[in-house]
Each structure stands twice: as structure tokens, then as C-alpha cells.
Amino acid sequence: MRSVLSKPFGLWKSPFSAEARAERTSLRDVRWDERTGDLLWLERGPEGTRLVARSTDGTQRTLNDAFDMGGGVGYGGGDFDVRGGTVIFVDRGRQLYRLEEASGAVRPITPQMGALASPALSP
């Protein structure tokens, strides 16, 4: 039988390192565009945040990595919404933008504002 070794908090050996944590990529805000069939998500990693789309044929592409997509309100919701190939997203600069999937064109649709989060497109 193994004995348990007690150590002060934070001084035990861990298989997880700060470097490994910093290098990981996380997926957030997965959305499905029911009109186009595309699946979109945000990837956050050491190189920043990017919006990625996967088409029904399996093609995966980065739609945008020039903006720091993310709302300023920390209670949940989402950072973007998509419908019919149009993406509405909020960036940390406190502005809403419209991105067209087909062309990649991005344009602001609001002036800079206070904290924004959870953009939602309605039919």
C-alpha cells in the first residue's frame, strides 16, 4: 500500500506546466448556420483569437483573425452569431461588426460603445 505524502499548497509536482497552459488552444462559442450548413467557432490560443468555419464538404478556413473578438460582459452569452453567411460579432474595442463569410468583408455597424456581449440575429 502506498502512503500519502503531504506537501504545502502549490509545492507538489504537477504534470501541468504554465508553458503547456499558455500554448493550448481553446474553442468557444460554437454556432451552426442552418441556412449554409457551416459550423463556426472561436479559437483562442497563444497567437490570438480567430473565427473558424467548417463547411459541409469538410473544408475548414479562418474567416477572421484581425479582431480580438469577445464581449466585455462576463456573465455568459456569446461573442458572435451567424445566419445565412452573415456573422455579427463584438470585439473588445466595444463595437459590433458585420462579416460576410463569402467575401471576408468586415465593416462596423455601431460606433464604439460601453460593454457589449451576446449579439443575436433574428429571422
- List pLDDT tens digits, range 63-110: 998 888 887 666 667 889 999 999 999 988 688 999 999 999 999 999
Tell me the pTM: 0.76
> Is 119 a member of any domain?
no
* The total number of structural domains that make up the chain: 1
Mean pLDDT rounded to a whole number for the chain: 86
> Is 87 a member of any domain?
yes
Distance between CA atoms of 34 and 72, rounded to whole angstroms?
27
Q: Which domain holds residue 52?
A: 27-108
> Is 33 a member of any domain?
yes
Assess whether pLDDT exceeds 90 at residue 19: no
Contact present, 98 and 88 (Cβ < 8 Å)? yes
> Is 14 a member of any domain?
no
* pLDDT given at position 73: 62
